[in-house]
Amino acid sequence: MDPFHGACEIVELRDELVASQHSKETNRLSGGPIVDDRTEKFSRQKTAGRYTLEDEINKLFEAIELRASARGLGPSCQFSKGSSQISASKKPIRGGISQASGIGISESVTLKQALRGLRISHASEVAAMKRVSKSTASSKVAEAVAVKRLYRAVVVEANDSGLTLDESKGSLLQISLVPEESKLNSSEKISSQATREENLGSTVHSSPQFAVPATTEISMIKAQLEEGIGPVPTEVGTQALTLKLGQEGKLKSALSLCCSNISNRTETLSKDTTASKDIESKRAMMKFGKNLKLNFSSSLLNSSASSKVKKSVSNSPRVVNPVPKNNCFPNKKMKKEVSSACSSSNTCIADVDSALSPSASKVVCQAQNSNQNVLKEPACPAFSRTCLDVNVSLSNADYKANKSVQGLDSCNKRNFDAKASECSRSREAADFSQSSKSSLGAYSSTTCISDESNVCGSSCSGSRPHMSKDLRWEAIRRVEMQHGSLDLRHFKLLKRLGCGDLGTVYLAELTGTNCLFAVKIMDNESLGSRKKMPRALTERDILQVLDHPFLPTLFAYFTTNKFSILVMEYCPGGDLHILRQKQPGSIFTEQAARFYVAEVLLALEYLHMLGIVYRDLKPENILVREDGHIMLSDFDLSLRCTVKPTLVKASLSLPTPSKGISGSCVGCICTDPFCVQPSWVQVPCFTPRHVSTPTNIRKLKSNSMTQVPQLLAEPTNARSHSFVGTHEYLAPEIIRGEGHGNAVDWWTFGIFLYELLFGTTPFKGPGNDDTLVNVVMHSVKFPESSSVSSQAKDLIRGLLRKEPKDRFGSAKGAAEIRKHPFFKGLNWALIRCAVPPTVPKSSETGVSLTTAEENKLVEYKMSSAEHPEFDTF
CB of 315 to ligand ATP, least distance (A): 31
- Figure out which of the listed residues 568, 675, 711, 826 binds ligand ATP, where binding follows CB under 6 A: 568
How far apart, in Å, are the Cα atoms of 12 and each of 84, 86, 437?
19, 16, 50
Residue 458 in contact with residue 464, Cβ under 8 Å?
Answer: yes
Q: Which of 161, 10, 207, 312 is nearest to 647 (CA)?
A: 207
Instruction: Please report which residue ranges of 237-374 form alpha helices under DSSP H.
Output: 251-271, 277-291, 304-314, 332-341
Of 216 and 538, CB closest to ligand ATP: 538
Of 175 and 565, CB closest to ligand ATP: 565
304: left (phi over 0), alpha (psi -120 to 50) or beta: alpha
280 lies in the binding site for ligand ATP (CB under 6 A): no
Give the DSSP letter of residue 353: G
CB of 617 to ligand ATP, least distance (A): 12
Residue number closest to ligand ATP, CB atom: 500
ω into 92 cis (within 30 of 0): yes
For the segment 510-539, give every residue that binds ligand ATP (CB under 6 A): 518, 520
CB of 125 to ligand ATP, least distance (A): 45
Of 427 and 807, CB closest to ligand ATP: 427
In three-state secondary structure terms, 46 is helix
CB of 785 to ligand ATP, least distance (A): 32
Segment interacting with ligand ATP, rule: CB under 6 A, options 194-202, 222-230, 495-503, 865-873: 495-503
Buried b (16+ CB within 10 A) or exposed e, 777-800: eeebebeeeeebebbbbbbbbbbb
Instruction: Please report which residue ranges of 468-554 form alpha helices under DSSP H.
Output: 471-483, 524-529, 533-545
619 lies in the binding site for ligand ATP (CB under 6 A): no
Segment interacting with ligand ATP, rule: CB under 6 A, options 493-501, 645-653, 734-742, 749-757: 493-501
For the segment 295-334, give every residue that binds ligand ATP (CB under 6 A): none
CB of 547 to ligand ATP, least distance (A): 15
Of 131 and 495, CB closest to ligand ATP: 495
Of 210 and 473, CB closest to ligand ATP: 473
For the segment 629-658, give every residue that binds ligand ATP (CB under 6 A): 633-634, 636
Segment interacting with ligand ATP, rule: CB under 6 A, options 56-64, 144-152, 565-573, 823-831: 565-573
Residue 820 in contact with residue 812, Cβ under 8 Å?
Answer: no
- Figure out which of the listed residues 229, 502, 521, 533 binds ligand ATP, where binding follows CB under 6 A: 502
- Figure out which of the listed residues 407, 552, 628, 762 binds ligand ATP, where binding follows CB under 6 A: 552
Of 97 and 571, CB closest to ligand ATP: 571
Radius of gyration of the chain (CA): 28
151 lies in the binding site for ligand ATP (CB under 6 A): no
CB of 569 to ligand ATP, least distance (A): 6
* Burial status of residue 550 (CB atoms within 10 A of its CB: 0-12, 13-18, 19 or more): buried
Of 408 and 654, CB closest to ligand ATP: 408
Give the x-and-dash track for 430-469 against ligand ATP (CB under 6 A). ---------x------------------------------
CB of 501 to ligand ATP, least distance (A): 3
Of 36 and 575, CB closest to ligand ATP: 575
Q: Which of 685, 635, 410, 439 is nearest to 535 (CA)?
A: 635
Name beta bridge partners: 557.
566
- Figure out which of the listed residues 407, 503, 549, 688 binds ligand ATP, where binding follows CB under 6 A: 503
Q: Torsion angle, CA of 99/103/109/112, rounded to 10 degrees?
A: 90
Give the DSSP letter of residue 562: S
Segment interacting with ligand ATP, rule: CB under 6 A, options 354-362, 569-577, 709-717, 812-820: 569-577
Rounded CA-CA distance 430/213 in Å is 56
Buried b (16+ CB within 10 A) or exposed e, 444-456: eebebbbbbbbbb
- Figure out which of the listed residues 427, 608, 629, 812 binds ligand ATP, where binding follows CB under 6 A: 427
**Residue 443: what are its φ and ψ, rounded to 5°?**
-85, 80
CB of 421 to ligand ATP, least distance (A): 12
Name the pairing type of β-strands 292-296 and 155-158: parallel
571 lies in the binding site for ligand ATP (CB under 6 A): yes
Residue 1 in contact with residue 671, Cβ under 8 Å?
Answer: no
Segment interacting with ligand ATP, rule: CB under 6 A, options 342-350, 564-572, 768-776, 785-793: 564-572
CB of 222 to ligand ATP, least distance (A): 44
CB of 549 to ligand ATP, least distance (A): 14
CB of 575 to ligand ATP, least distance (A): 6
Other Cβ atoms less than 10 A from the Cβ of 232: the count is: 16
In three-state secondary structure terms, 276 is coil
Q: Torsion angle, CA of 731/732/733/735, rounded to 10 degrees?
A: 90
Catalytic residue among 36, 272, 278, 616: 616
576 lies in the binding site for ligand ATP (CB under 6 A): no
Q: Which of 687, 686, 689 is nearest to 676 (CA)?
A: 689
CB of 365 to ligand ATP, least distance (A): 17
Of 452 and 616, CB closest to ligand ATP: 616
CB of 461 to ligand ATP, least distance (A): 17
Q: Name the helix (H) or strand (E) containing 4.
A: helix 3-30
Q: Name the helix (H) or strand (E) containing 439.
A: strand 439-442
Segment interacting with ligand ATP, rule: CB under 6 A, options 126-134, 182-190, 491-499, 864-872: 491-499
Rounded CA-CA distance 139/87 in Å is 21
125 lies in the binding site for ligand ATP (CB under 6 A): no
Residue type, 213: P
575 lies in the binding site for ligand ATP (CB under 6 A): yes
616 is catalytic: yes
Q: Which of 155, 178, 148 is nearest to 263 (CA)?
A: 148
**Residue 53: what are its φ and ψ, rounded to 5°?**
-60, -35
- Figure out which of the listed residues 289, 500, 725, 813 binds ligand ATP, where binding follows CB under 6 A: 500
Of 91 and 425, CB closest to ligand ATP: 425
498 lies in the binding site for ligand ATP (CB under 6 A): yes
How far apart, in Å, are the Cα atoms of 287 and each of 151, 207, 409, 687?
12, 12, 45, 33
Segment interacting with ligand ATP, rule: CB under 6 A, options 347-355, 478-486, 498-506, 786-794: 498-506
For the segment 49-68, give every residue that binds ligand ATP (CB under 6 A): none
**Residue 706: what are its φ and ψ, rounded to 5°?**
-75, -15
Rounded CA-CA distance 718/359 in Å is 19
Rounded CA-CA distance 848/846 in Å is 6
Residue type, 634: D
Of 235 and 626, CB closest to ligand ATP: 626
- Figure out which of the listed residues 505, 641, 647, 788 binds ligand ATP, where binding follows CB under 6 A: 505
What is the DSSP secondary-structure string of 73-111? T-SS-HHHHHHHHHHHTTTT-SSHHHHHH--SS-TT--H
570 lies in the binding site for ligand ATP (CB under 6 A): yes
Of 396 and 553, CB closest to ligand ATP: 553
Residue 634 in contact with residue 582, Cβ under 8 Å?
Answer: no
Tell me which residues touch ligand ATP (CB under 6 A): 427, 439, 497-503, 505, 518, 520, 552, 568-571, 575, 621, 623, 633-634, 636
Active site residues: 616
